[in-house]
Chains A and B, each alone.
Chain A
């Protein structure tokens, strides 16, 4: 039973446009959400996070939105750059679980020049 779902295996956008990556979760106990970016042959790199007490968190070109009632979060990248091309993982954690993360399967983002 997959608790964190990224239903789009891939996404392709033009440079300068907005990239929107989506993530759904089923476990209502999740209260902390993170996005990681991963380049081939490298480890995941932390991008941005959001606590369940918020519905938006912004860091430069990256914004994460959380809709708790829909159990949905999204990552917006504006403007998209070719260097953003990578696999993006959504992850979730339950407070008190010793920070164990449950990951989605990832979405491959390709930003075309």
Chain B
């Protein structure tokens, strides 16, 4: 019963380095999301995807890129990491939109520190 799986769980980067966070879901969900959570803040949407091959910007997209080449995977990339990107990143997925009893399921989080 994997649900939404994020890798890696922890990572320390130097300023300017690049990395990719991988999110995988085994629920055949169409919608996938990347959020970040900072101290004293709620979760903020970075990018999202409504299906394989599609991506769209969320609330705080700058400095990040995403790809959804396969339905089950949603990748979040940092091309040139900055200390402001130190955060906890959560991936989420949903089968469909609200109002139909569906909900959004979250992964356990990826802790990223940029020094």
Contact = CB atoms under 8 A, between A and B. Distances in A.
A43 B108 contact: yes
B106 A98 contact: no
The 4 closest A-B pairs by CB, nearest first: A103-B42, A32-B98, A43-B106, A103-B43
B107 A43 contact: yes
Nearest to B40: A105
B90 A51 contact: no
Contact of B44 (A45, A49, A51, A103): A103
A105 B43 CA distance: 8
A103 B58 CA distance: 13
A93 B100 CA distance: 13
A93 B98 contact: yes
A17 interface: no
Interface in A37-96: 41-46, 49, 51, 89, 91, 93, 95-96
A101 B45 contact: yes
A42 B109 CA distance: 7
A45 B106 contact: yes
Contact of A104 (B42, B98, B99, B102): B42
B98 A95 contact: yes
A102 B48 CA distance: 13
A98 B90 CA distance: 18
Contacts of B97: 95-96, 98-99
A101 B41 CA distance: 14
A98 B41 contact: no
Contacts of B41: 105
Interface string B8-35: 0000000000000000000000010101
Given A41-B109, A44-B43, A101-B45, 18 more contacts: A31-B99, A32-B98, A32-B99, A36-B106, A42-B108, A43-B90, A43-B106, A43-B107, A44-B90, A91-B43, A98-B31, A99-B97, A99-B98, A99-B104, A101-B33, A102-B42, A103-B43, A106-B42
